[in-house]
Chains A and B, each alone.
Chain A
Amino acid sequence: MDEPVRRHHWIVRAMHWAAFVLIFGMVASGLQIYRAYPRFGERGGPYYPNLFHDVAFPEWSRLGGWLAGGINWHFFLMWPLVAVGIVYFAYLALSGEWRKLLLRPRDARPAFEMCKYYLRLRRGHPPQGKHNALQKGAYTSVLLLGTLSVLTGLAIWKPVQLAWLTGLFGGFQAARYWHFWAVWLFVTFTVVHVIMVFVADPPSLRAIITGRYRGRFSSDEP
């Protein structure tokens, strides 16, 4: 068997797992905060369409015990999470890794080929570099989602001092709404991400832990 290749820099691995734990904590403390007013819209309505209107999430899914506890966890974890984001973006930019990770217009055709492959409309796996075009799309989207979560969070925290930002998201209640949506997009991403690891490329799990990879995809661009 081939020798394993070095696939992920330690910064990438550390930031990946730190982000996982921190986002987990942000979601749990966020669900605790949501409990205090589980709906969206000005008092007296009208209210936004929301599957979780007046829903109290179960205790095991919440972090903080009560509103102030949830707030204090949320406003503590946000700092290391933002730091993780900054370190990771700096690494992407300085290492040139962004070329392998971010979705670009040139990925349109390969993305189409990958769709055909998954839909069994084509036999062989399309050639790819470190990540295929659909992966690039998913990873680019989740980075965008992280950025939007921070911005909507700031818009909720300071709707008067940063009124321009809150206005950009459609006001205080709309910013809360988008901030809440981010939870379900993160959850969806994580579920699909984990399924794909086991279905499409199990050796990638080792790669994101130890950095070494012995799978079928090259770590280099074609």
Chain B
Amino acid sequence: MSRRVDRRSFVVSAAASLLAACGWDGGRTFRPVLSGVSRLNDWVSQLVFSSERRAPKYDPAERSRSFPAYHISAMTPTLAEPDTWRLEVGGLVRTPLTLSLDELRAIAPVSYTVKHHCVEGWSAIATWIGVPVRAVAERAAVLPEARYVRFDSFDSGYYSGWDLESAMHPETILAYGFNDQDLMPDHGAPLRLYAPHKLGYKLTKYLTRITFTAEQPGGYWEDQGYPWFGGV
């Protein structure tokens, strides 16, 4: 008889602790386990990622009617003097670069109409035009020690760190055009990172600097717990 009571009280306490777990992000003890498994998932994501694979393409007629735009600054970040904006390319490169928008526009562009995937679960189709990161990396002559790329912005310190392979994918671009127009301030003007194979939070807007590194950079959201690889 007492065994039965024990079993019942065990089941009740197990159910209670399950309920108490809800709304819980793992706490000080379990959060490290979750982020450890998140590293494992990054590794799996990297295995699944192919630099040969191209994202499915859509017809411009299929563009979504709305396309949300997020930034972390209280107001939409804009430049006081847009003409003096330059993109800095540095870190583990032989030739550090300082590029104006006109110089970037002079490089052979890539354009595609693709589906954007947000970590929140929404998706939207849009057309993007820009310069492959790869083309800029070739000009800067990236050193063999470089394994990661850090993208910095003027949106209150927002940044994101990428693996080199994803950054060198031919569909990873520095976009200056959105749906046949110049990139608007909401979408990261004058220049943003874009790739159909990453979640939106990896696609740093309001770019200022690209840095090639040997150490893995974090990221604004990644440092707070979002998956680092963020590939789709």
Contact = CB atoms under 8 A, between A and B. Distances in A.
Interface in B8-54: 18-19, 21-26, 33-35, 37-38, 40-41, 45, 48-50, 53
A42 B49 contact: no
B66 A44 contact: yes
B121 A36 contact: yes
Contacts of B41: 75
Interface string A39-64: 00011110000000000000111111
Q: Does more than half of chain B's interface fall in helix, strand or loop, or is it mixed?
A: loop
Contact of B56 (A43, A44, A76, A163): A163
Q: Does more than half of chain A's interface fall in helix, strand or loop, or is it mixed?
A: helix
Contact of B37 (A21, A72, A172): A72
A218 B69 CA distance: 63
Interface in A140-182: 157-163, 167, 172-173, 176
A12 interface: no
B72 interface: no
A21 B18 contact: yes
B225 interface: yes
Nearest to A70: B25
Contacts of A65: 23-25
Interface string B124-158: 11000000000000000000000000000000000
A161 B50 contact: yes
Contacts of B123: 42-43, 172-173
A161 B124 contact: no
A149 B66 CA distance: 30
A30 to B, nearest CB: 11
A138 B7 CA distance: 28
Contacts of A24: 18
Interface residues of B, number: 47
B45 to A, nearest CB: 8
A218 B24 CA distance: 44
B72 to A, nearest CB: 15
Interface string A79-102: 100000000000000000000000
Interface in A1-48: 21, 24-25, 28, 33-34, 36-37, 42-45
Contacts of B34: 69, 72-73, 76
B58 to A, nearest CB: 10
Given A158-B232, A160-B56, A43 B67 contact: yes
Contact of B197 (A42, A62, A161): A161
Interface stretch (B86-94, B96-104, B112-120, B202-210): B112-120
Interface in B64-100: 64-68
Given A65-B24, A68-B221, A160 B196 contact: yes
Nearest to B114: A160
Contacts of B197: 160-161
A20 to B, nearest CB: 10
Given A43-B66, A68-B226, A158-B232, A59 B23 contact: yes
A71 interface: yes
A115 interface: no
Pairs of residues from A and B, 8 with the lowest C-beta to C-beta distance, nearest first: A44-B65, A69-B25, A68-B225, A37-B121, A36-B120, A43-B124, A44-B66, A72-B34
Given A37-B122, A42-B124, A45-B65, 5 more contacts: A43-B67, A66-B25, A67-B226, A159-B117, A176-B121
